Amino acid sequence: MRIGVPKEIKPSEHRVGLTPASVRDLAAHGHEVFVETGAGLGIGRPDEDYEQSGATILPDADEVFARAEMIVKVKEPQAVERARLREGQVLFTYLHLAPDAPQAKELVASGATAIAYETVTSRFGGLPLLTPMSEVAGRMSIQAGAYYLERAHGGLGVLLGGVPGVDPAKVVVLGGGTVGTHAAHIAIGMGAEVWVLDRSNDALRRLWTQFGRSLNTVFSTQDSVERHVAQADLIIGGVLIPGAAAPKLVSREMIATMKPGSVVVDVAIDQGGCFETSRPTTHDDPVFKVDDVTHYCVANMPGAVPRTSAEALNNATLPFVMQLADMGWEAALKADPHLAAGLNVHAGQITHAAVHEALPDLPYRPLREVLAA
């Protein structure tokens, strides 16, 4: 198969779809890999590293898209990239379509087959291609929150872990999944008072077993969310419904009850965010304030640490890229129902039920019908 790797063009995005190590494995299987010049510079890998791994370097994205049967990226295709897609071409990347109707409409119009990292499942019930970036984002959320709690950055002037004789900051984590677990791990390590809210008793038991009495767990209800939001110095939003828009757990009214200078970090912003007051921001302009509460809503948080993120992502994606390349997308999806769960768009139609629920006006064909055909 001819596989294309364009340079990421979303603002402040420095990751790359395939590392040289991944290219080498694909080339060993007889596949051609076309890499746009400079695509790996953000992770410190020049074109020469890709050439030594067996890739062909192309001068621009137009050529990469024109020559490739499958495009492997990191972030959702931007408008100029969507215009390059063609009927029958495969796109394998993060999409996050539910809150992004313009992208979904253009992918449908392109006729391409779009497989989303974030909805590929595992036999254990997890999301293996979302997990590594959720791990990174969960850890980064505490770093960002601690930074913006400093008075010089508009915060309360609170040290996350406190000092002897002075209370630590109260960190509230909404969601006990991968983001929440890793956020709790870092916050506990920094000495904060940490509370995790979740509607899954199994998740709360797992966290209790992992962290013991250093972590406080609370079943999530409207009452408990309201109470802990009002008391929090830092809130991490880490809820996820695969493929669907994130639920708005924290209303504008709840934000108004928070202490001036407190901070919210919305890791769910890729799926629309779980704070009613959230809107996507960038690494160049990461925060805004509502009712004197700092909102950090960067939509590609792991892009700030691209070396770590690209390696972690490739560790997870390479086996699936190899399946698609070795077998072709149709045979690969029919053979693996977990990879098939990643199919979001095919031949001018939405194919994922949660995306269809969020965007009911777009043409829809259930996944089972696509696979049967």
What is the set of active-site residues? 96, 270
156 CB-near residues (< 8 Å, 6+ apart)? 149, 169, 233, 259, 260, 261, 262
Residues in the chain: 373
CA–CA separation, 154 and 260 (whole Å): 9
Contact predicate 278/292, CB 8 Å:
no
Instruction: Quickly list DSSP for 18-56.
Output: S-HHHHHHHHHTT-EEEEETTTTGGGT--HHHHHHTTPE
Phi, psi dihedral angles at 91 (to 5 degrees): -120, 125
CA–CA separation, 314 and 40 (whole Å): 13
CA–CA separation, 15 and 255 (whole Å): 33
Contact predicate 188/182, CB 8 Å:
no
